[in-house]
């Protein structure tokens, strides 16, 4: 299950662009559901091919890499040659493949027309970036393999698409990757170097802010940013409809569940939307996303969205000097009209089609701000960590703040009225 935290600019940070809103979305298309290991009857030469292919990537051996591609699959061969070149600057600590299963999808009828033996394989790619990933990033590919003259070859990665088995897309599938290193950041991008350096500079400012709020334990104090060139490329990386992310400035991906074995997070920037932000807005976005990276191990399906997003916004705006109405303009407008929210934002309020999406994020931010103001920042952090456990939210609130859920909500409603009225 891949959690994605997008940040979308609306009105106020720059003209017609203010408070940042987003959504926690669960995508299943990237990693896929778990499957049984490949059957014992599978030809071990298939895994050997994958191992040889991976060793060629690790060894920067293009000739050996291309030797594993079916020479008759000219389009796939050309794409793999480009991909290998696109990877040249990426600092890989490891790269490996694991055969999950064969017969993973139905092959097109025309594939058997020439009598060549073929198999449809589900394969896991596992890679780590040197100096940044303690655990591998795992993605799934659906590959067609052909057997010729006693040897297996990779022949295609798109035959399973018609059956809903789409191979995950990586940044290096989309173009030549330029790498920029910051003090606390690594940027992998398809754009110009000057823009990528700007991302690194913003991330380098974000990391100390997050460390100040969250602490240093549980995360490495670094952030990896991926920067595609277009909105369509962003959608492909997320296995999502690009239109859903048109106004979103950045997205954080990562695994929920509070496991140290979960794959590393990536902050993916939408260059068009991000470029519309002011310097302040850009800093807020990357600080918010870096907070999601830092808190990932403590964030589970038990963590309410108002707390997850509200805490990230509280960290991002903590030292901004902006007033509550400036940060929460949509909710302030409602409050001035006498419309005080009756309850904390629910998961439904964070849906992209929700008419109160901005208010949901602003309400979450005010909830976090209230805890930090009326108790302490340390108490807010403790509340966040406790909320990710198996305990009910009511018991967490009682344990951390000595308030029931109802009493906490009533106190928050009063705080919203006082701060925005």
Domain 44-167 has CATH 3.10.129.10: no
Determine the Cα–Cα distance for residues 144 and 117; give it in Å rounded to an integer. Answer: 10
| The pLDDT of residue 12 is above 80 | no
Highest mean pLDDT among 32-41, 126-135, 376-385: 376-385
| The pLDDT of residue 91 is above 80 | yes
Give residue 258's pLDDT: 41
Q: Using 50, 70 and 90 to split pLDDT, how confident is the model at 108? A: confident
pLDDT, averaged across the chain: 87
The pair of three-digit structure tokens given for residue 410, joined into one six-digit string: 């009533």
Determine the Cα–Cα distance for residues 314 and 243; give it in Å rounded to an integer. Answer: 28
Give the phi and the psi of residue 345 in degrees, each rounded to 5. -60, 140
The 10s digit of each residue's pLDDT in 124-180 is: 999 999 999 888 899 999 999 999 888 999 999 999 998 999 999 999 999 999 999
16 close to 229: Cβ distance less than 8 angstroms: no
- The mean pLDDT of 360-378, rounded to a whole number, is 97
Give the phi and the psi of residue 382 in degrees, each rounded to 5. -65, -40
| The pLDDT of residue 26 is above 70 | no
Q: Using 50, 70 and 90 to split pLDDT, how confident is the model at 40? A: very low
Q: Which of 164-173, 262-271, 276-285, 334-343 has the lowest mean pLDDT?
A: 262-271
Give residue 134's pLDDT: 84
Q: Using 50, 70 and 90 to split pLDDT, how confident is the model at 116? A: confident
Determine the Cα–Cα distance for residues 215 and 297; give it in Å rounded to an integer. Answer: 13
Question: How far apart, in Å, do the first and last CA atoms of the chain sit?
Answer: 40
The 10s digit of each residue's pLDDT in 49-58 is: 999 999 999 9
Give residue 176's pLDDT: 97
Domain 1-26+169-298 has CATH 3.30.2010.30: yes
The 10s digit of each residue's pLDDT in 320-366 is: 999 999 999 999 999 999 999 999 999 899 876 678 889 999 999 99
Percent of the chain residues topping a pLDDT of 90:
73
| The pLDDT of residue 182 is above 60 | yes
Give residue 259's pLDDT: 44
Domain boundaries, given as residue ranges, for the chain: 1-26+169-298, 44-167, 302-421
- The mean pLDDT of 182-202, rounded to a whole number, is 96
The 10s digit of each residue's pLDDT in 215-256 is: 988 888 999 999 999 999 999 998 888 988 888 899 888 754
Give residue 355's pLDDT: 84
258 close to 299: Cβ distance less than 8 angstroms: yes
288 close to 7: Cβ distance less than 8 angstroms: yes
The 10s digit of each residue's pLDDT in 66-80 is: 999 999 999 999 999
Give residue 140's pLDDT: 94
Q: Which of 115-119, 251-255, 412-416 has the lowest mean pLDDT?
A: 251-255
| The pLDDT of residue 19 is above 50 | no
């Amino acid at each position: 299950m891949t959690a994605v935290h997008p940040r979308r600019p609306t009105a106020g940070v720059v003209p017609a662009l203010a408070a940042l809103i987003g959504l926690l979305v669960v995508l299943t298309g990237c990693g896929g559901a778990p499957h049984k290991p490949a059957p014992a009857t599978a030809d071990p030469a298939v895994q050997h091919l994958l191992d040889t292919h991976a060793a060629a990537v690790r060894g920067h051996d293009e000739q050996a890499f291309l030797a594993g591609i079916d020479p008759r699959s000219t389009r796939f061969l050309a794409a793999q040659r480009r991909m290998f070149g696109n990877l040249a600057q990426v600092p890989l600590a490891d790269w490996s493949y694991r055969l999950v299963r064969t017969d993973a999808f139905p092959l097109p009828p025309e594939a058997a027309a020439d009598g060549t033996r073929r198999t449809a394989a589900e394969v896991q790619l596992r890679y780590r970036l040197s100096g940044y990933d303690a655990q591998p990033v795992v993605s799934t590919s659906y590959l067609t393999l052909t057997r010729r003259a006693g040897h297996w070859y990779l022949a295609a990665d798109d035959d399973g698409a018609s059956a809903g088995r789409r191979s995950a897309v990586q940044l290096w599938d989309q173009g030549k990757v330029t790498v920029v290193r910051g003090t606390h950041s690594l940027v992998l991008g398809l754009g110009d170097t000057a823009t990528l350096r700007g991302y690194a500079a913003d991330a380098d400012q974000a990391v100390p802010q997050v460390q100040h709020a969250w602490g240093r334990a549980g995360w490495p104090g670094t952030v990896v940013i991926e920067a595609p060139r277009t909105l369509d490329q962003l959608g492909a990386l997320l296995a999502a409809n690009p239109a859903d992310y048109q106004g979103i400035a950045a997205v954080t991906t990562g695994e929920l569940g509070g496991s140290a074995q979960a794959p590393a997070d990536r902050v993916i920037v939408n260059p068009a939307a991000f470029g519309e932000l002011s310097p302040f807005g850009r800093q807020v976005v990357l600080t918010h996303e870096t907070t999601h990276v830092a808190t990932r191990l403590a964030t589970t399906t038990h963590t309410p969205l108002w707390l997850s997003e509200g805490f990230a916004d509280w960290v991002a705006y903590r030292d901004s000097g902006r007033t509550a109405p400036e940060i929460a303009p949509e909710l302030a407008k409602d409050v001035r009209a006498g419309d005080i929210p009756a309850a904390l934002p629910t998961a439904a309020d964070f849906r992209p089609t929700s008419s109160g999406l901005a208010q949901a994020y602003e309400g979450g931010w005010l909830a976090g701000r209230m805890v930090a103001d009326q108790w302490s920042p340390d108490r807010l952090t403790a509340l966040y960590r406790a909320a990710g456990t198996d305990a009910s939210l009511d018991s967490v609130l009682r344990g951390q703040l000595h308030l029931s859920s109802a009493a906490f909500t009533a106190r928050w409603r009063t705080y919203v009225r006082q701060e925005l009225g």
